[in-house]
Amino acid sequence: MSPIDHSPLDELPTPPPGKSVWPWTTQGPPLPQTMADGSPWPRISLVTPSYNQGRFLEKTIRSVLLQKYPNLEYIVMDGGSTDHSVNILRTYSPWLTHWVSQPDHGQSHAINQGFAVASGQIFGWLNSDDFLLPRALERVAMAYRQNPSAVAWAGSCHFIDLEDRILQVQAPRGLERDSIADWWNVGAFCQPSCLIAAWAWRDANGLDESLHYAMDLDLWLRLGSLGQFATVPHSLSATLVHRLAKTQANVPEVHAEVVYVQIKHGFREAAMRRLLPLLRNTPPKVRLHMLLKTKLRRAFHRIGLRRKRTQEDRQLLQEAIAEQLQDDLCTPATDRAGNVLQPHPA
């Protein structure tokens, strides 16, 4: 695909009333046609998967286009939205490399389909409720030039609320594979601030389409087997914290899928370090078997059965839970008077 032209602010559609500053009324600085050493800017291919995210989609699109990056492919994969997303995509279509609106098989499938038609040297996906910060792509390109053999380049990310107030800034840490496996305890970085070498994406075979929450962690662990992650010493993106976000609305399923991915890649101890505190922090009267029969149990069931994992995968998960939790958590629960609570029949 051909890269898109620069997108000066005065050429893009007028922002909605009341919208100001980045990325509505300001834009990134102009970049020279080549990098400082005379080499061409590496082509960056970005994919935005979206479904009924019209409330946020335009901001995401503008944050990419107003980078004014000289060698950009921007692809939007909409899953057949029924809100006003398609109207937004039609409005911005002159500045998009490619877009479709049709049913897909979930976020991972949409991202894989987008990168299947991409031709860049650097890949990244940007969800439709996240956005890039000014100069993000320029800084990734500089990191690429400094560390051309890296499998990915990760920068900092701003967690923001619906009013664009910064709640937290997450810098990348623990970029070695063993650290990434102990996700958010040791290794941590935010997906929209991590861009990937195209060759590494292809060698890793993209995203596992059976995963819906921890597909990025699964990819990071596979990339970590291929090479090293590099740090970008800048904030690259902002991620919106809101109650309708998939990972915030389905917390038990998120934890369960992370644990599954950790076990699948051989990091059983890291999986238990995540799982045990979750179970310990439940109310004292809630027995372990009751907890596992509720949200967490259902989440494991969805991973192990609904998605048709192999019997070996399910057995790994069940053995890990049985081995680690039996001694650590199966202590008798008591009521306020100290009486042991009897377990309910299975």
Model confidence over 12-49: pLDDT tens digits? 999 999 999 999 999 999 999 999 999 999 999 999 99
Q: Rounded to an integer, what distance in angstroms lies between the CA atom of residue 245 and that of residue 236?
A: 20
User: What pLDDT is stored for residue 311 in this prediction?
Assistant: 57
* pLDDT > 90: percent of the chain: 64
The total number of residues written for the chain in this structure: 346
Report pLDDT for 210: 87
The residue with greater pLDDT, 332 or 162, is 162
Rounded distance between C-alpha atoms, residue 174 and residue 301, angstroms: 31
Phi, psi of 307 (to 5 degrees): -90, 10
Cis peptide bond upstream of 70, omega within 30: no
Give the model's pLDDT for residue 285. Answer: 44
DSSP 42-88: PPEEEEEEESS-HHHHHHHHHHHHTT--SSEEEEEEE---SSSHHHH
The pLDDT score that the predictor gives to residue 282 is: 52
Lowest model confidence (mean pLDDT) among 89-93, 162-166, 199-203, 233-237: 162-166
Q: How far is Cα 129 from Cα 67, in angstroms, rounded to an integer?
A: 17
Burial class (CB in 10 A: 0-12, 13-18, 19+), 128: buried
Dmax (CA) for the chain in angstroms is 77
Looking only at the bridges linking them, the beta strands covering 72-78 and 166-170 are: unpaired
pLDDT of res. 250: 61
| 166-170 vs 122-125, strand pairing mode | unpaired
| pLDDT, tens only, 300-318 | 554 444 444 455 555 555 5
Q: What is the pLDDT of residue 339?
A: 46
What confidence tens digit (pLDDT) does each residue in 261-270 have?
888 898 988 8
The strand ranges marked E within 147-253 are: 152-160, 166-170, 194-197, 229-240
For residue 324, the model assigns a pLDDT of 45
| pLDDT range class, residue 289, cuts 50, 70, 90 | very low
Q: Say yes or no to pLDDT of 345 above 70.
A: no
**What are the residue ranges spanned by the domains of the chain?**
9-242, 250-329
Q: Kindly report, residue by residue over 195-207, the tens digit of the pLDDT.
A: 999 999 999 999 9
Question: Does 128 score more than 80 pLDDT?
Answer: yes
Q: Flag whether pLDDT at 338 surpasses 50.
A: no
Helices (H) and strands (E) in the chain, counts: 13, 9
Q: How far apart, in whole angstroms, are the C-alpha atoms of residue 121 and residue 44?
A: 6
Of 3-17, 154-168, 184-198, 229-243, the poorest mean pLDDT is in: 3-17
Query: Residue range 55-78: average pLDDT?
Result: 97
Work out the average pLDDT over 147-158. 98
Correct CATH for 9-242 of 1.20.120.530, 2.60.260.20, 3.90.550.10, 3.40.50.9100: 3.90.550.10
Residue type, 254: V
- What is the rounded CA–CA span in Å between residue 254 and residue 256? 5
pTM of this structure: 0.83
Q: Is 246 exposed, middle or buried (0-12, 13-18, 19+ CB in 10 A)?
A: middle
